[in-house]
Structure 1
Amino acid sequence: MDTHFTVTPRFAVKMLEKALRLYTPSLSEKPMAEFLADKCDDLGFEDIQIDEVGNVIAKKGSGAPRIMLCGHMDVVPGKVKVRKEGDSLYGRGASDAKAPLMAMLFAAASIQNNNGTIIFVGAVDEEGNATGIKNLVKKKMDIDYAVFGEPSGIKKVTIAYKGRLAINLKISVEDSSHASAPWLSKNAILESMIFARELKEKLEANQEDKSKGMLLTATMTEVKGGTSHNVTPKECETTFDIRIPVDMN
């Protein structure tokens, strides 16, 4: 049966708003998965499933080419009130990446049989450890092309993303001292700060002519240290998130 759907802008915005009202941090995407599976059924998709890790997978159309449209259902932690302001819609995941995900769902719904096959995927844990994508790779899916929905603009296709290097640093000093006499020992947190400053200065140097999207960045994201408010710390654990642009080896 050749089933064709026309999705109006009003309907698309309404469905995106519903998706944004579902708070889905990594590995808590079940409400979004059930919502998408239900919409896939309404829109005439076939072979709809929620796989063993929570990915939503559905098929529309038939024949070649076989194209996967994949977006992620999870968001970074932290709730943002869903609201409309003029022509803009705000909420956690509005940009990254429920809007691209819903756009691909409705684009896939418009395909007609014998014009190719769309494999629609709503993946889990993209903001975490990529559990969803890793499971898709294991499946060795029969596809010719894959397009991933991310907030990279709508006027051109992005062919690469920055790489990521995580550094977990642990600094230990020989002894600690009372905060009233800090000169008696080194301070593990201060030593970490010194390292962080030097790392950032060296890695981010000589980039004055680059656009923001092409910058190498070194960002401290986590710091753990100290055992008491009045004692200098003997240990400090720090995490650095380094993003490497696509033109750098």
Structure 2
Amino acid sequence: MNTKDMLLEMLNIYSPSSNEGEIAKLIKEYMVKLDFENPVIDSELNVISVNGKDKPYVFLCGHEDTVPGMLEVKEDVYQIYGRGAVDAKSSLLALILGARKAMDRGFKGKILVSAASGEESDSKGINNILKNYSGYDYAVFGEPGGPMNITAGYKGRLLMKVCVKTGTHHASSSWMEANSVDLLMDLWTAIKNKYGSNKDFNSVTAGITKFNGGQYDNMTPEQASMYIDIRYPKSRSEEDIVNEMKYYMKNILKENYTYDIASRTLPYISDIKSPLVKSFKSGISKNGMVPKLIFKSGSGDMNTLGNEWKIPAITYGPGNTQLSHTGDEVIDIREIDSAVNVISDSLIDLQGNQS
């Protein structure tokens, strides 16, 4: 089965977070056919295979889940469309095929190849892997960035939930006092004006992701809540950011509000002088491209593992990252084949640099 057929089969399995069972079975079948050592599906539906035993010890991790929203799977010559075509089944497939090609060419290092669950939601997959495996020297995560780009850093993330309670009035008397929705809208406007337009990697950004308020169509809402997704660079601390948000809440909401950090992810910046980065630069160059380090405003499993294991880690994979989580996911199959070659060459180079 060629790369194109494998990807089409993967995309035809709809696998949003918490529904990874079917795609996990397919990935395991692929690994068996490709002669990976004893691939297993663990308790969190990760697919894992550990191969080889010599240095270096390399952890390769793509994710098998997608965001919700089914898309039509179709092909047009080299273009493949479907949910996960960009984020990130193409990258997962490139890691699997790249590892296999490297081993076929004589790579003797220890490689843990994994397809993780829950990356787009609660990170249950990577957290379970962290509990059960350790001792690796380098990590490579599969996410879109383009075959010439190495993602060397991600921002941290705070997901903050803010709730407000106020008095309620007949809708015809809404002028009597600001209600809970009014107040949260004012709060979000202030936060958006401060952080909403920041595009620089070294700045704090914020986006509203959920808003809920009101129960009856003839009464002003008594309570309302919203989620704010905050991304921040390594130069800023969580404490500083929370204090800034508390300042806005205190001055706008005044009282009768609560806030909670629903989830948090620490920022991660890779060691750009590490053998891992050097080997991937070499692998990209060998395939006729000019390597480039990029830093993304998002976050991923690399943040979690990089901060826990404290090893050099990068993210690499085919595809236009701006199409992630959109209704326009499309990948050029030639990008996947190019990424496979880069991964294989990079692993061979990494092995050669071991002393």
State whether TM-score is above 0.5.
yes
The amino acid of 1:11's aligned partner reads: N
Q: 1:216 to 1:154 in 2, by over 3 A?
A: farther
| Structure 2: 5+ residue stretches without partners | 238-355
Match of 2:215 in 1: 227
Q: 1:157 to 1:247 in 2, by over 3 A?
A: farther
Could you report, residue by residue, the CA deviation over 1:114-161 in whole angstroms, capped at 9, with x for unpaired residues? 622221100010111110111111113332211001112221321211
SS at match of 1:74: coil
* Deviates most, 237-246 or 100-109: 237-246
Confirm or deny: 8 A CA contact 1:214 1:245 kept in the other structure. Answer: yes
184, 187, 190: which one aligns with 1:195: 187
Q: 1:86 to 1:217 in 2, by over 3 A?
A: farther
Match of 1:127 in 2: 120
Match of 1:5 in 2: none
Could you report, residue by residue, the CA deviation over 1:30-57 in whole angstroms, capped at 9, with x for unpaired residues? 1111001111000001121111111100
Aligned residues: 235
Alignment of 1:243 with 2:243, yes or no, is no
Match of 2:139 in 1: 146
Confirm or deny: 8 A CA contact 2:196 2:207 kept in the other structure. Answer: no
1, 23, 27: which one aligns with 1:32: 23
Q: Output the TM-score relative to the length of structure 2.
A: 0.62
Whole-Å separation in 1 of the counterparts to 2:219 and 2:230:
31
Whole-Å separation in 2 of the counterparts to 1:76 and 1:244:
22
Which one has a larger percent helix, Structure 1 or Structure 2? 2
Confirm or deny: 8 A CA contact 1:176 1:186 kept in the other structure. Answer: no
* Deviates most, 105-114 or 125-134: 105-114
1:71-110 matched pairs, under 5 angstroms: 71-110=62-101
* Deviates most, 119-128 or 85-94: 85-94
Whole-Å separation in 2 of the counterparts to 1:247 and 1:74:
31
SS at match of 2:86: helix
Alignment of 1:179 with 2:167, yes or no, is no
* Deviates most, 139-148 or 19-28: 139-148
Could you report, residue by residue, the CA deviation over 1:216-238 in whole angstroms, capped at 9, with x for unpaired residues? 32111111111101111010011
Match of 1:166 in 2: 159
Whole-Å separation in 1 of the counterparts to 2:132 and 2:118:
17
Whole-Å separation in 2 of the counterparts to 1:21 and 1:188:
44
| Structure 1: 5+ residue stretches without partners | 1-9
Q: Report the alpha carbon displacement of residue 58 of structure 1 after superposing the two structures with TM.
A: 0.8
SS at match of 1:158: strand
Whole-Å separation in 1 of the counterparts to 2:29 and 2:194:
51
1:36-75 matched pairs, under 5 angstroms: 36-75=27-66
* Deviates most, 51-60 or 94-103: 51-60
The amino acid of 2:154's aligned partner reads: Y
Could you report, residue by residue, the CA deviation over 1:199-231 in whole angstroms, capped at 9, with x for unpaired residues? 1112346x5xx55x6653211111111110111
Match of 1:3 in 2: none
Q: Output the TM-score relative to the length of structure 1.
A: 0.88
Q: Report the alpha carbon displacement of residue 190 of structure 1 after superposing the two structures with TM.
A: 1.4
